[in-house]
Amino acid sequence: MNLAAALLVGYLLGSGAAVDMVEQGITESVRDSLGLPPECKIVTTVHLNSRGSLATGMVEVAEVDMDGADLDSLQWASGGAPSAEGNLRGRIGEVRVTLHWAVTEGFVIERLTFLIEGVEYNLGKIMVGGGLSVTSAGACRTEVAVDPREVAEYIDGRSRMLNEVKFLLLEDGEVMLQGRVGAGRVSPSVEVRGRLEMVDGVGMEVTDATLRFGGVPVPGFVARRIMTEINPVLGLEKGSFLAGVLPAGSVGFEDGRIVIKGEGALPFFAAAATG
């Protein structure tokens, strides 16, 4: 960067309006990548080591938040060659994109977060209001948090057999489902214990399950019938947005939530070269 360019960057990015430029550029990049309509509210907040760090395009963290996204309507970024316009480059240490209370086929995900490290962008373009043009990005980690009450409501709503479903988190990845079979005066209780795991090509399921029906063990064919009403707890339709981004990582429990963590695909920044 020559002296004239440095002075121009310092002048433009040394003001409060410069922060708005970067935040707006990130917001529109995420919106365009996912095909989100203008009415979808996205809030972007950048965190700086100092105001002066913007003079060199350095952003410590950029947080992007949106609520109530319909995952079934999202599209994948189309991809493309990295932008080569201009010779001014900026860098964001980490971009955190979080979809709060996202929905897929009636299943509510409390939080879906993408953590992208080392995002480099065309600083010159964003300076003139051209939006965020990403030149490269690092690995993308994905975290998914699900409220077990949402799991219970989802199973209860779709099942033809089970009613009054409760989904409880135990220890070491084990879960217990309680409910009743049928309706009316004759509706015996059912209890299912098993492990919650990600099954490749299927989604999240209760595995290694044992069942008790009215307090006693059930025959195999009955158990299989009930398990088809439960699994998959969260199905991943091939080719869907969620199937593309949900990591095949381990399932754990944190603060009363089901949490899945792992390496995920990067659905943002169509012009990014990832590595």
Render the chain in DSSP notation, one character per residue.
--HHHHHHHHHHHTSHHHHHHHHHHHHHHHHHHHT--TTS-EEEEEE-S-GGGGGGTEEEEEEEEEES-BGGG-------PPP---S-EEEEEEEEEEEEEEEETTEEEEEEEEEEEEEEEEHHHHHTT----EEEB--EEEEEEE-HHHHHHHHHHH-SSEEEEEEEE-STTEEEEEEEESSSS---EEEEEEEEEEETTTEEEEEEEEEEETTEE--HHHHHHHHHHH--SEE--TTSHHHHHS----EEEETTEEEEEEE----S-TT--B-
**Mean pLDDT across 135-141:** 86
* Through-space distance between the first and last CA atoms of the chain, rounded to whole angstroms: 25
Top-confidence residue, 234 or 76: 234
Cα 246 to Cα 141: distance, rounded to the nearest angstrom: 10
**Mean pLDDT across 77-85:** 49
Top-confidence residue, 94 or 10: 94
Q: Which two tokens stand for residue 34?
A: 């996912």
Cα 143 to Cα 254: distance, rounded to the nearest angstrom: 12
Answer whether 75's CB lies under 8 Å from 123's CB: no
Top-confidence residue, 264 or 151: 151
Q: What is the pLDDT of residues 82-136, one digit of tens each?
A: 454 556 788 899 999 999 999 988 899 999 999 999 998 888 787 777 778 888 8
**Per mean pLDDT, which of 16-30, 142-156, 179-193 is the most reliable?**
142-156
Handedness of CA 26, 63, 142, 89 (dihedral sign): positive
pLDDT at residue 40, as a whole number: 86
Q: What is the mean pLDDT of the chain?
A: 82
- The fraction of the chain above a pLDDT of 70, given in percent, is 83
Top-confidence residue, 64 or 139: 64
pLDDT at residue 55, as a whole number: 67
Q: What is the pLDDT of residues 176-206, one digit of tens each?
A: 999 998 766 677 889 999 999 988 878 899 9
Cα–Cα distance list, 236 to 104, 162, 204 (Å): 10, 22, 8
Backbone angles phi, psi at 249, to 5 degrees: -75, -175
Domain boundaries, the chain: 3-147+257-263, 148-239
Is the pLDDT at 139 greater than 90? The verdict is no
Top-confidence residue, 105 or 150: 150
Give the least confident one: 30-39, 65-74, 105-114, 220-229. 30-39
Give the least confident one: 28-32, 46-50, 125-129. 125-129
